[in-house]
Amino acid sequence: MNNLFLILTSISGLAVGPILIYFTSKIILKNAEVLINKFLITIPIIGILILPLTTALPNLFVSIASVLKGVPEIVYLNNIGNNIANLTLIVAICALVSGKFVVTKSILIKRDSLFLLISTIISVLLMSDGILTRSDGMILVLVYSFYFLTMVREENISQRKKTNTNPIKNISLIILAGVVMYVSAELIVWSAKNIIFLTSLSSTFVGSVIVGLATVLPEASVMLLASYKKEINVSFSNLIGDSLASIPLVIGIMSILYPLKIGAKTINILLPFLLISTTVFLLIIYGDPLLLRFNVKKYDIKITEALLLIMIYILFMYFTF
């Protein structure tokens, strides 16, 4: 009876924790942007440092809590699971909801897609030897830094105007939201540990599928709503941005702070599926993998291709179970 209650409590924690993290991350991002707009002209480095970190905060907090709770494998399991879910299941559901997931041709989308592929390949190569050292982490952070600096230069982030605001209020809200976010991250990790301990499920399945899905669903629900309203480009851009924030940024930061040992199941199953899901996703956007055709003007996802992405995620779940 006690075990059943603990399992139900843990499931509730995995449901509530990500929702709290999602809303607190939005509060932090909103107030950080207000502060950046106020001070960026005189201190431009603030924007360069804060914007990517606020995007990565949810997974970063879960990763920190994982290390402190003695389950560091959740760091890479959750982030890899996030990306695989985003690039297969979430995109596919959006395509099914909208009827046809059409992305407007954009040089920024081409740039982000290229960085996504490069960062994924580098991440897989660095993790394939079974350990992420501090030097590996620095390489991953540098990869993301190069991407972000390119984005800053092309989108002229530094040209924002100052705003009149009370910085004390903004800083207070950021601190309060940060505390709630960390407590929520602790709740997620505590719930995951309980499920691993009380069930026969492997830590690989719990970390990459259960925690990975739980942490990605709040943001995915916003993307699904955007797809329903046909606001595809915004949601598509957010999806690629989130994927780049998870890998390489979060895993890079965490391996600098705490070198990570990569499990054999991750090397043999998760990393190949990460490469497959990223490659198939980009092939679908730029061509037609079912007919082995490549066309840089395509930029859409048909129903049959959405079903292919769902099949990839089902296979991923099956092999990690």
The pLDDT, as a whole number, for residue 231 is 59
The pLDDT, as a whole number, for residue 100 is 61
Residue type at 243 in one-letter notation:
S
Per the listing, tokens 């797809």 go with: 227
The pLDDT, as a whole number, for residue 288 is 58
Mean pLDDT of 256-279: 95
The residue among 230 and 9 whose pLDDT is bigger is 9
The pLDDT, as a whole number, for residue 142 is 93
Residue type at 132 in one-letter notation:
L
- Strand, helix or coil at 288? strand
Query: Whole-number mean pLDDT of the chain?
Result: 83
In this predicted structure, the answer to whether residue 294 has a pLDDT above a threshold of 60 is no
Mean pLDDT of 116-141: 95
Mean pLDDT of 170-178: 91
Minimum mean pLDDT range among 214-223, 233-242, 257-266? 233-242
The pLDDT, as a whole number, for residue 161 is 54
Tokens of 254: 């965490």
- Strand, helix or coil at 287? strand
The pLDDT, as a whole number, for residue 134 is 95
236 vs 17: CA distance, rounded Å:
25
Residue 154's alpha-carbon distances to 5, 107, 133, 211, 219, in angstroms, are 52, 10, 32, 35, 26
Q: Which residues fall within 8 angstroms of residue 184, CB to CB, at 6 or more apart? A: 16, 17, 18, 20, 21, 24, 61
Per the listing, tokens 């990869």 go with: 143
The pLDDT, as a whole number, for residue 121 is 95
Mean pLDDT of 118-124: 95
The pLDDT, as a whole number, for residue 42 is 46
Mean pLDDT of 285-302: 59
The pLDDT, as a whole number, for residue 78 is 95
The residue among 86 and 106 whose pLDDT is bigger is 86
170 vs 168: CA distance, rounded Å:
5
Minimum mean pLDDT range among 80-84, 90-94, 228-232, 253-257? 228-232
What confidence tier does 72 reach under pLDDT thresholds 50, 70, 90? very high
In this predicted structure, the answer to whether residue 269 has a pLDDT above a threshold of 60 is yes
Q: Structural domain boundaries of the chain?
A: 2-320
Q: Which residues fall within 8 angstroms of residue 317, CB to CB, at 6 or more apart? A: 205, 209
Tokens of 134: 């501090």
Write the CATH number of the domain with boundaries 2-320: 1.20.1420.30
Mean pLDDT of 287-296: 53
Instruction: Convert the pLDDT of each residue in 221-242 to its tens digit.
Output: 877 777 776 655 556 667 787 8
H helix or E strand, kind and range, residue 300 = strand 300-301
H helix or E strand, kind and range, residue 131 = strand 131-132
201 vs 219: CA distance, rounded Å:
26
In this predicted structure, the answer to whether residue 219 has a pLDDT above a threshold of 70 is yes
Minimum mean pLDDT range among 147-151, 275-279, 298-302? 298-302
Residue 111's alpha-carbon distances to 40, 107, 117, 156, 240, in angstroms, are 25, 6, 10, 15, 10
What confidence tier does 89 reach under pLDDT thresholds 50, 70, 90? very high
What confidence tier does 130 reach under pLDDT thresholds 50, 70, 90? very high
66 vs 47: CA distance, rounded Å:
28
Q: How far is CA 185 from the centre of its chain?
A: 15
List the alpha helices (DSSP H) in the chain: 2-39, 45-68, 73-84, 91-98, 107-127, 134-155, 167-198, 203-205, 212-228, 232-244, 251-257, 264-265, 271-286, 303-320
Mean pLDDT of 252-271: 95
